Amino acid sequence: MYLELEHLDKRFGEKRVVRDLSLELAQGELLCILGASGCGKTTTLNMIGGFLTPDGGRILLDGQDITPIPPEQRPVTTVFQSYGLFPHMTVLENVTYGLKFRRLTGQQIRERGMSYLELVGLADRAQSRIQALSGGQQQRVALARSLAVEPKLCLLDEPFSNLDAALRTKMRHELKRLQRELGITMVFVTHDQEEALILADRIAVMEEGALAQLNTPEELYRRPATPSVARFLGVDELEWRQDGTVWKAIRTRGPI
């Protein structure tokens, strides 16, 4: 597998925030880590990105153990909820910021930056200041900046939560288009069940720091593994087989 999390553990003081978490991700796959606030999903993302050090376990990317590698040296980028753009720079300068540390000429940097702005539909705003852009445009700049360095893995921490409903819907489809077009591997953290069901190739549901279920959106929706996963996804009633698996999910409302 391309990304492997092996028995990850993380504590903050006496609280065990992530518990023996193991999962695998294929190259080019988009995985959503889904769960309620406080379930450990953002902590997991921060360990993959190198911003937190696991108390146990390890992280492998493309066969390399990246657990001890600092975040700035990992072939991983992160799109944060707050975008993290530089207000004193133009759109193009923001997108190409990470390329300045690569062995590229000025012309190569500009050309690559413009190509990623084309991908997100913002080539005509290359010389604009960040403050002149809408929230949705700023989110696309942040995405283009993360993709421009051509990482092995792109992490996204609830990146659409600050957008209104219409923009969130648009950005979900835009992200999925880009992910498929570029074939980039992504891990997307969200508490929004609908968002995960729309975006993901597979969904990892976390509960109290542990992995409750990992499956495709369809299988997860139709066959939740536990009553708590079912309730989180909006299932009101379950009928179980003798082997303990779900036979039928009765749903009278959407996900909560």
Verdict on whether the full-model pTM lies above 0.75: yes
Spatial CA neighbour of 31 closest among 4, 55, 6, 58: 4
Q: What is d(CA 207, CA 175) in angstroms, rounded to the nearest whole number?
A: 26
Amino acid 31 reads L
Q: What is d(CA 117, CA 115) in angstroms, rounded to the nearest whole number?
A: 5
Query: How do residues 215-242 score in pLDDT, each as one tens digit?
Result: 998 888 888 888 888 888 876 666 666 6
What are the residues whose beta carbons fall under 8 Å from the beta carbon of 9, sequence distance 6 or more?
Answer: 16, 18, 19, 20, 21, 54, 55, 56, 57
Query: How do residues 39-77 score in pLDDT, each as one tens digit?
Result: 999 999 999 999 999 999 999 999 999 999 999 999 999
Write down the domain spans for the chain. Answer: 85-150, 223-256
Query: How do residues 113-124 score in pLDDT, each as one tens digit?
Result: 999 999 889 999
- 15 beta partners: 12
205 to each of 58, 153, 156, how far by Cα in Å?
A: 20, 20, 16
Of the listed ranges 4-8, 16-20, 192-196, 247-251, the one predicted with least confidence? 247-251
